[in-house]
Amino acid sequence: MKGTAAILLAGGVGSRLNILVRHRAKPAVPFGGIYRIIDFTLSNIGNSSMTSVAVLTQYKPLSLMDHIGDGASWDMSGRSRSVKIFPPKTGEEDWDWYRGTADAVRQNISFVESAKGNEIMILSGDHVYRMDYRDMVAFHREKGARVTIATLPVPWEDTHQFGTAIIDNDSRIVEWEEKSPRAKSNLASMGIYVFDRQYLISLLTESKEDDFGHHIIPQALQEKVVYAYAFDGYWRDVGTVQAYWDANMDLLDPASGIDPEMWGTMTNINAGGSICDRPPVSAAGRARIKRSLISPGCTIEGRVENSVLSPGVVVKKGASVRNSIIMHDCIIGEAVEIERAIIDKEVSIGRDTAVGIGDAGIANREHPKHLYSGLTVIGKRTVIPDRISIGTNCIIDPMLDESAFPKEVKSGSSVTRPKP
């Protein structure tokens, strides 16, 4: 797709992922063992033969910038292909942090103006899916559209989370609702747009509105130039703890439709903690592995079932890990029992400890909308002592040492770093 440029929005805080984004941007959160969330959009870009991409960062961008590097991992480095990372221009007169998606693009409108093609794609860096963007651009051109939005049907109970479209028989959008509590349609925006480049420039320069969904799309709709591109593949917005866990569990279900390897999903194998130079998986002693994704460098002596393990995880003898996501270089001690947990990088859990065992009906007291289904989340580099019990819907802060823990962390509780 020579000539079509892309702007990848990767600056969101992602607060609904709670402590998983305490020290990183949402698109940089590890996913599926060896990937990060942003790998899916970057791979779609590379596999669609796009040649010019601007990545707009903002919140805690360092790990994301390190992961992307020069774009070579996605075949986006060379004389005619490039990934440019644009941090927010804070500290400059008349500039501020991005106030919305449209404002982010407006603050970097020089990239749009200098692009050589007739179209600009606006993409999000926090969704898991595969799409050949060439098909969407071809549809945009065929319809004579000035704006095209990728859409798919979602459950009616989820429509309040999305912009939704009502279309005519020619796929033209005739009515638009942004996150309505009583939506008239369940045809939801995927946050993927194709704009005619000059039309986008005029929209952004003639208006000071901040957001595409709330402001720019309704404005374009008045001119009857907005079309809906139908998508029917696997797609997930992994912006909540529950959705993130669900998407990882989908990897273990052959019928789910997600298959990163078959999709040609690429990642930076040389970034810190990656699979580069990791030894093969070692399963020793009475190790039992069932319906799980085990990454290179893992050592399994216990039981792992229906779980996703990133590189370097150690599961010691007698330990049991079920229905969980364990990130890079965690150590699960002897006779530890883990159920429905998300454990961030480099966590160490002492022997005879239980995690995620208890009454799943007690939501987390501090964040009841984040943890309510029985999941427990443990932050990066925390050290959990021997012989304690951690219940369900618990949040354990990053960087804690053994002294921070009582003998029992009851379901719905949080263990936080003491304020100085």
Give yes or no for a contact between 208 and 102, defined as CB atoms under 8 angstroms apart: no
- In sequence order, the 6+-apart residues with CB closer than 8 A to the CB of 330 are 312, 313, 314, 343, 345, 346, 347, 348, 349
Q: What is the C-alpha to C-alpha distance for residues 162 and 159, in angstroms, rounded to an integer? A: 5
pLDDT digits (tens, 9 = 90+) for 294-328: 999 999 999 999 999 999 999 999 999 999 999 99
Q: What is the C-alpha to C-alpha distance for residues 183 and 387, in angstroms, rounded to an integer? A: 50
Tell me the pLDDT of the chain (420 aa) as tens digits. Answer: 667 899 999 877 778 899 999 988 899 999 999 999 999 999 999 999 998 999 998 888 888 888 988 888 888 877 777 888 887 665 444 445 677 788 888 888 999 998 888 999 999 988 999 999 999 999 999 999 999 999 999 999 999 989 999 999 999 999 999 889 999 999 999 999 999 999 999 988 887 777 788 778 888 888 889 999 999 999 999 989 999 999 999 999 999 999 999 999 999 987 766 677 899 999 988 999 999 999 999 999 999 999 999 999 999 999 999 999 999 999 999 999 999 999 999 999 999 999 999 988 899 999 999 999 999 999 999 999 999 999 999 999 999 999 999 999 999 999 998 766
| Torsional class of 247: left (φ above 0), alpha (ψ -120 to 50), beta (otherwise) | alpha
Say what the pLDDT of residue 7 is: 93
Q: Where are the beta strands (DSSP E) in 37-130?
A: 52-56, 82-86, 119-124, 127-129
pLDDT digits (tens, 9 = 90+) for 75-91: 887 777 788 888 766 54
- What would the two tokens of residue 38 be? 């942003």
296: number of Cβ within 10 Å? 18
Q: Quickly tell me which residue has 């500290």 as its tokens.
A: 91
Domain 5-250 falls under CATH 3.90.550.10: yes
Give yes or no for a contact between 48 and 406, defined as CB atoms under 8 angstroms apart: no
Report the CATH fold assignment for 278-420. UDP N-Acetylglucosamine Acyltransferase; domain 1 (2.160.10)
With DSSP H G I counted as helix, E B as strand and the rest as coil, what are the percentages for the chain, rounded to 5? Answer: 25, 25, 50
Helix, strand or coil, per DSSP, at residue 383: strand
Helix, strand or coil, per DSSP, at residue 321: strand
Q: What is the C-alpha to C-alpha distance for residues 285 and 302, in angstroms, rounded to an integer? A: 8
**What are residue 320's DSSP bridge partners?**
303, 337
- In sequence order, the 6+-apart residues with CB closer than 8 A to the CB of 58 are 10, 11, 12, 25, 87, 88, 97, 98, 104
344: number of Cβ within 10 Å? 26
Q: What is the C-alpha to C-alpha distance for residues 414 and 255, in angstroms, rounded to an integer? A: 36
Torsion of CA 338, 341, 347, 348, to 10 degrees: -10
Domain positions in the chain? 5-250, 278-420
